[in-house]
Chains A and B, each alone.
Chain A
Amino acid sequence: MHTGTSTTHDTHDAHDHIHPPPEGFVRKYVFSLDHKVIGFQYFFTGLLIMFIAGSFAELVRLQLTDPNGAIMSHTAYNEMFTMHGTAMVWLVLIPLVTGALGNFVMPLQIGARDVAFPWLNMASFWILPLAALILFSSMLWGGPHAGWTEYPPISLADGTAGALWCLAIFTIGISSTMTGLNFMVTIMKMRAPGMTWTRMPLFIWATFATALMNMVATVALSVAVGALFLEHVFNVPFYDAARGGSAVLYQHMFWFYSHPAVYIFIIPAFGVVSEVLPTFARKPIFGYKMIAFSSMAISILAFTVWMHHMFPSGIAPWLQLPFMILTYAIGIPTGIKIFSWMATIWGGRIHFTSSMLYALGFLITFTFGGITGVFLASVPVDLHMHGTVFVVGHFHYVVAGGAVMGFLAAIPYWYPKATGRMLNERLAQLGFWLFFIGLNGTFLPMHWLGLEGMPRRTATYAGFAKAFPDAVFWNQFETAFSFLMAASIGLLAINVIWSLRHGTLAGINPWGARTLEWTISSPPPYYNFKKIPQVFGRPYDFDQPLPYRNTDNELDEFPEFGRVLMPIPQPVGAGA
């Protein structure tokens, strides 16, 4: 770095600021500051935890093959679905969609050499395994039992395990907040010259909206579980009604975060779909600005709807109507997106790659989950169905059929960029069909079972099976199909590892895509861009030449634009 005030702009040269490459195994792969390696670390950690949390889900499904409970005690069942939900939400989905995708793709797409605060990024990642360790260690003390929401007063019976649950969620909350802050600054300040807000790829808009929610909402959750932790450990009466506390207060604070949290999963998936659909339909995205602004609208509206989770919790009736209407209002920006995507593929030359199949599957399953969400937003319907598996079906259509499908669309799409080799297409397509059929087979019957009144979160349903004898068949049907989804994820893991060595070489741009990451080599060097490109337009106009100049694989006919620097790892708040 230059010293003193006497440095002039003439001597400044962008090449000076590429640091020497990291040396040694630890610096390169373990405590790496490189956003791409950190993205990989998030990816493999998330995938590993997904196997653990997924096997919990399979145990839950196996238990329900018999109306009297097939394999485990009621306590063990409660522990299993609680751990499944907690681990999937906080340790799998959020790290995968924001940590893995956001870290790997976002700096490449804005033409930056790294995120704004590489050291903070590394710290955010290493908090994740720590939180996972704390969460899973709670099972040594019997595990939490009150569901992934851990409502008091029930959760207060969990003792040490409940306190450890709070600690784990608090810890992962710190990681999310730091990632959100880091991404906000990166997107606001480090875009390549010429990349104005309305020239950003849509995935960047999605990441920005997500980072905003991560930064703002996660702290509210940390406070909710922090106060629960204080109640567990020091007996501080925030939620204890006997001493003037209020259990509903926890629900307010929990859902103020956790409703935005579902958008934290889904909006990156929206971003992925907005990249994949135009690329494989070979058509400009329809309604760029509407898609971008509806991401922001969703992220802002997300903070105004939390009480729709609490209609049966005894909130004031005059509050129910506005929250119902606001929840309906979220359907508007979401609908704008769905119609824009349909208009994008309309009349395009569609290439049915595995990535495109996942994106098209996303359109079907996510729309279905969104529509049942509109049902549940209606107060009378919600009061009827809140405690039934209809809610489970809706939620999994949105999360597995939306967020996970979007994530699975991203893997074959960016895998060639990340590793330099293509995924095995045949295995990936097989994986798609297994996942799509398994998803619908598992969660579709929950809707009519829920309408008939099958309760959720119960280890047995003998009474319900007596009233509705088909329930046993449908539950066994769901369990059978759930294994197709498990097989699909297993196949994905095999494919990811096999293709690292044996995949065909990808080259710079295997898909003919147009965002900035496809102008550099695959895998990218640790500094990403040797020269920082200049951007002249949106990346989706397939009939136009690429809107970039000064890219790495271009002849040196344009001067350098040394504006974007390689961030220097240093503490944020101290030091010159």
Chain B
Amino acid sequence: MAAAVQHLSGHEAIAARYHDVDPVYGETRDLRLLGFVFFLLSDCILFSSFIFAYVYLRISAPAWPPFLNGHQLPWFDTSFAAMNSIVLFGSGVTMHFALENWKHLNKAKFNGWLIATIVLGIGFLLGQAHEYSVVGISWTGTTMGASFFTLTGMHGFHVFVGVLYLTILGLQANRGVYTGSKYFGLTAGTLYWHFVDVIWVFLFFLFYIW
């Protein structure tokens, strides 16, 4: 069977490797994929519930941004956040290339793209830290600060966990844990990273555009 795979071109070879693993592995992988998607779904509800809280508090507030001690709070800095968003979305693109290169058995390029993803993820976190230091509102003062710091903080925590997660996956990949046909961990890591990106799309719209 391995010999047959060699005759196939790029994507056909990937599909053949994906479907032609031994059935025990194939079944377990399918279970884990579904389980991981359900985990992301429940995580999505975590964010949606806090987003519901934010929208509820915002539309029931008499003025937005709210007043604190007689002064209206400032709007967020959309242009800086937009640049930081590009950094995060860019890391989604690099992660996609990392996984594709792994599927094409190109380990050197995989490492390059994965390191780029991790660096961009850290860059986004540094950007968030800068944003927190200049934003001029506090977590405990108003519902604006409460929603902003809780939601973006939770998202930032997800990015931080994602950076650690991708680092571990990279180390595992270079230790030989994954092969060209068995790489579920990398798939899961990529899904997680894209999920974190997609959540940021909503947060960016809700805090910086709305």
Contacts and interface: CB of A to CB of B under 8 A. Distances in A.
A219 B46 contact: yes
A26 B5 CA distance: 46
Contacts of A235: 140
A245 B23 contact: no
Interface in A528-576: 563, 565, 567-568, 570, 572-576
A215 B38 contact: yes
A334 B157 CA distance: 43
Interface string A27-67: 00000000000000000000000000000000000000000
B132 to A, nearest CB: 15
A575 B35 contact: no
Contacts of B60: 246
A576 B177 contact: yes
Nearest to A9: B23
Contacts of A565: 24, 27-28
Looking at A8, A17, A236, A568, the one whose CB has the most chain B CB atoms below 10 A away is: A236
A181 B146 contact: no
A249 B59 CA distance: 12
Interface string B99-142: 00000000000000000000000000000000000000001111
Nearest to A224: B49
A185 B184 contact: no
Given A184-B38, A243-B141, A565-B28, A575 B22 contact: no
B93 interface: no
Interface string A409-435: 000000000000000000000000000
Nearest to B43: A219
A216 B177 contact: no
Given A182-B35, A246-B56, A573-B189, A223 B50 contact: yes
A12 interface: yes
B96 to A, nearest CB: 18
Contacts of A574: 165, 168-169, 172, 185, 188-189
A398 B36 CA distance: 35
A561 to B, nearest CB: 12
Contacts of B165: 573-574
A170 to B, nearest CB: 11
A116 B42 contact: no
B188 A5 contact: no
Nearest to A250: B53
Contacts of B141: 237, 243
Contacts of A6: 1-2
Interface residues of B, number: 58
Interface string A212-244: 000110111011100100100011111000011
Contact of B146 (A17, A189, A237): A237
B46 to A, nearest CB: 5
B143 A245 contact: yes
Contact of B42 (A120, A190, A219, A236): A219
A219 B45 contact: yes
Given A219-B42, A220-B49, A224-B49, A576 B185 contact: yes
A574 B35 CA distance: 13
Contacts of B57: 238, 244-246, 249
A244 B66 CA distance: 8
A3 B22 CA distance: 8
B209 interface: no
B179 to A, nearest CB: 7
Contacts of B52: 252-253
A207 interface: no
B139 A185 contact: no
A237 B31 CA distance: 41
Interface string A185-203: 1001110000000000000
A12 B23 contact: yes
A190 B31 contact: yes
Interface string B140-170: 1111101001100000000000000100110
A218 B39 CA distance: 13
A572 B49 contact: no
Contacts of B28: 565, 567-568, 570
A227 B53 contact: yes
B178 A227 contact: no
A7 B22 CA distance: 6
B182 interface: yes
Contact of B56 (A3, A249, A573): A249
A535 to B, nearest CB: 18
A244 B61 contact: yes
Contacts of B204: none
B12 interface: no
A473 to B, nearest CB: 46
Contact of A572 (B20, B39, B177): B39
Interface in A1-17: 1-9, 12, 17
Contacts of A120: 35
A234 B53 contact: no
B183 interface: yes
Contact of A238 (B42, B143, B177): B143
A7 B20 CA distance: 9
A145 B5 CA distance: 67
- List 3 A-B pairs, minimum CB-CB distance, nearest first: A223-B49, A7-B22, A576-B182
Interface of B: 1-2, 5, 17, 20-25, 27-28, 30-32, 34-36, 38-39, 41-43, 45-46, 49-50, 52-53, 56-57, 60-61, 66, 139-144, 146, 149-150, 165, 168-169, 172, 177-179, 181-185, 188-189, 192
6 contacts: A116-B35, A236-B140, A245-B146, A252-B52, A573-B36, A575-B185
Given A181-B39, A249-B56, 6 more contacts: A5-B2, A117-B31, A177-B42, A230-B146, A238-B53, A249-B57
